[in-house]
Each structure stands twice: as C-alpha cells, then as structure tokens.
Amino acid sequence: MEMERQLDGLGRILELVVLLNQDMTESLARTGLTVSRTRVLWELRHRGPTTQRALADALDVSARTITGLVDGLVATGFVTRQPHPSDRRATHVTFTGHGARTVEELERGQRELASLLFGGMSERRFACFVAGLGTVLGRLHDQGLAHTLREEGS
C-alpha cells in the first residue's frame, strides 16, 4: 500500500511539472522569451544593473553562455549594455523600458497563478503542502540535483 501511495504522489508531481512547464514555455514564447533568457531577466531584476560576469556567476553558467543569452536579450529589446560607471573595461547589463515592463508583467502573472493555485486552500493545508514540497526538494538537493541553466545560450 505504501508504494502505491508513493507512486501516486510521484505521478501527481510529474503531471504538475509537465503542466507548469508547458504553461510557462507557451507564456514566455508569447512575450518572445525562453526559460533561459527569463532566468537572466529575473537575476537582473534582483541585482539591478550588473556585469555579465556577475550574471554568469549567479546563474552558474560560462561566460560564453551568458554572452549568448545577453546577446539575444539585447537583440530582442529586453536589455542593453551600458558603460560600467567605474571600470572602463566592463559594461553593465540593464533593462530597457520594454524589459522592465515585461518583468513586471511576469511578476503580475506569478501572483495571479499563485492566487489561482492556492487561494482557496486553508492555511493548514497550504502549510502542509509547502512543508511536503520542502521535504521533496530537500531530498532532491541532497542527491545533488540542482536547477541549472543549460549551456546553450537559448
């Protein structure tokens, strides 16, 4: 009986992953983004204008990968490269108006999705759900699985 429950739980997690991945990929594509480029935008939102080296370090990717990602974001009008204020050899990656508005829209979309998914859940049930996810994620991290950006520059 225990194995059946575990397999049912795993099946539900896998279904959730597929549904969220499909929704995220389609939503981002409508805005002209990929998952990899969006991770760069989130990091830039967190840090503010920063160097490509700092972005590469934060996302644990190579300099080549971050260059490709930033090139794509520049070409599509989400970010620009500006002179570094104190280092003539470096540049800062910074949002364009379009990029800043897009990230704000993505944040708004996250709030709406969170409300849709969890709005009707009791506090107790939600706390148990979050605790259970924390346990699952902790076990995955203990096994050395971590969320990393693919080295494709997409």
pLDDT at 151: 39
Position of tokens 């080296």? Answer: 53
Stretches where the chain sits below pLDDT 70 are 146-154
| 6-42 pLDDT per residue, tens | 999 999 999 999 999 999 999 999 999 999 999 999 9
pTM across the whole model: 0.80
Burial class (CB in 10 A: 0-12, 13-18, 19+), 108: exposed
Residues 6+ apart with CB under 8 A from 126: 118
